[in-house]
Amino acid sequence: MNMTSRVLLILSSLLLLSGTASAFYDDATFANINEIVTEHFELDIFIDFTRNVFSGTNTLSMRRTADFLDVVTLDVWDLNVSKIIDQNGRDYKFEIDDPNPNLGQRLIITIPEEVSELEVYNFTISYETSPTAEAISWLTPEQTSGKEIPYMFTQSESIFARSLAPFQDTPSIKTTYVVKTTTNPEFVTRVSGNMTYDYTDCTSRYSTFEMNIPVQSYLLAIASGNLVERRIGERTFVITEPEEIEKVENEFAQLEDFLIQAENITIPYEWGEYKLLILPPSFPFGGMENPLLTFASPAIVPGDKSSVDVAIHEIAHSWFGNLVTNNNWTNFWLNEGFTVFLERRAVRNIFGEDYMKVTAKLENQSMYYDMLDYGLDHTFSSLYPIFHGENPDDAFSEIPYEKGFQFLYYLETVIGEENFTEFLRKYLAKFSQESIGTVDFINYFTSFVTETFSENESRDILEEIDFDTWIYAPGLPPVTLDFETEEYNQSIELAQNFLDGTVDKEAALKLYLSFSVNLKGLFISHLIDNIEEVDEDKASYIDNTLHISSEINGEIIYRWLQVAIRSGQLGSPFTSAEEFVSSIGRQKFVMPVYMAMKDIDIAKAKEIFERHRDFYHPLTVTAIEKKLYNEIMISE
């Protein structure tokens, strides 16, 4: 069977599995999304810093899409629901059950027969969150820069918005919304939306935010604390605590330029303003692309602008992820692969081809490590992971980012950069404000090739592309792409010289100091790959020569700590490693360090974690627990 026939067979099979091309399918939601859909919601909450809860109401405006409706099911997670009424004050019976504890719970609202044929429903649900809600991190004053008042922020991706409020918590459903917040007067609140009202009296502060472009539930974000905001470009702003604002403003002075670069490659930016909020250090990720309120870790503010590509990545999500969205978590690569591709295009235009290739080479190694963790034949190492009731977070890794990027980069080499840029723009225009799947992508790319090239050319192009292996097969990509540069080879050669004992100390230091952060990362990654050749004396010699342990960028520190621990240079009780993992909560940084400590002294690793458990975001706590206590069970 030729490749074109095989692709058509795959498409036909997937469409049969989903029933119809327009049906929603997401096995990580309990909501009956093929019978009723949310079109708008209005969240009205009091942010209670005394009890560490949200309390209030969520009013969902929903449209029936089925012929008959007897129940509405929504996603919740440890919510205390007390009452549900409609716009006429009618009480609705409800219950909460627990079909799969990995995914939260299901709220079942019974629809009386006399209103079962209504087209539009408005449910006002009174509820309160749990103090341990998965999506909310509550910080004490001591955990903030100012040390004066507490701080709160949320992180809803992937399925944790259901711990903030009852939702159809799936990327298949996009809605507009209004969020009204009430706090004590000293707190400044920001939400992923445009502020339309802000008033403070002697007892409270009242703020209102609107999102007028339909978005998925996981993009709802809320932060509250001692916050200040500063404009740094025509459309760009930074937000942080007052003590950090000057440093953050300086670090991201080019934010408007980054936005323009991404816009020039794609289509006009639709969201109006772009705001970057630098959170306290317990934030679990490098960044989160909440529209109008991107969240980012202070780890990307080392003071030397060496991690600004994280901000470029989050800007790129304005088009891929936020505007065009994966319709479920199996299709997550459509968010992240496209975003990394746009990020790298912008990085190339700003910093040069070599910088882009070195970044791709470094992150390809991270992807490979993640594949080894799952197993090269495991479904989670494919671009299309199959879930068996697991929380989608169990499959979150560098794989959808880097394998997705490499697939798109490969497609660009097949049809040419100019044509691929045109494809990106048409793809965005075609699917703007929609949630789509891999089948939609393949269909549209195939039609673009057919329309752009002659019959013979398009046939040859589609015959060359092995969609099946690239997307559905586990393991390494079927095509090895060339990201090597002269600088890359220099970094690997330097590392190998240290391993071989043939290094010139003075020349080595001069060369190392000329490296970018990513080249330094490649240098250290080569040592990690050959850790069996690095003993305590060799690690000390490398560190004494290059002074790696005095670096300030977390991208370097977390890699070096793995070398130091595994070589024996840094033994238990891992003092400097503990200092690092207790100062930053970014999972990319802390997880490998904990794993290195675990392999040397698991009791001490657990002791360190328990000592700093309260510092981390709930998502990070869960992730570390699964690794340290071997609780993760991945289905084959």
Provide the annotated binding site for a peptide.
155-157, 284-289, 586-588
3-state secondary structure of 634: coil
Task: Retrieve residue 424's tokens.
Answer: 């990106």
Exposure string of 588-612, with b = 16+ CB inside 10 Å and e = fewer, is bbbbbbbbbbbeebeebbbebbeeb
Q: Of 128, 244, 314, 487, which residue is the catalytic one?
A: 314
594 is catalytic: no
E strand or H helix that includes residue 139: strand 136-139
Task: Retrieve residue 488's tokens.
Answer: 């890359």
3-state secondary structure of 287: strand
Residue tagged 């300030």 (tokens): 552
Spatial separation of the C-alpha atoms in residues 457 and 583, rounded to whole Å: 55
Spatial separation of the C-alpha atoms in residues 499 and 521, rounded to whole Å: 16
Spatial separation of the C-alpha atoms in residues 558 and 85, rounded to whole Å: 51
Task: Retrieve residue 468's tokens.
Answer: 């099946």
The side-by-side arrangement of strands in the sheet containing 194-200 is 80-85, 120-128, 53-64, 36-48, 175-183, 205-215, 194-200
Q: Of 274, 401, 409, 488, which residue is the catalytic one?
A: 401
Q: Which amino acid is at 83?
A: K
121 is catalytic: no
Task: Retrieve residue 227's tokens.
Answer: 């916050």
Here the contacts of 423-429 (C-beta below 8 Å, separation 24 or greater) are 423/448, 424/265, 424/266, 424/338, 424/342, 425/266, 425/267, 427/324, 428/266, 428/267, 428/319, 428/320, 428/323, 428/324, 429/267
Catalytic positions, please? 314, 401
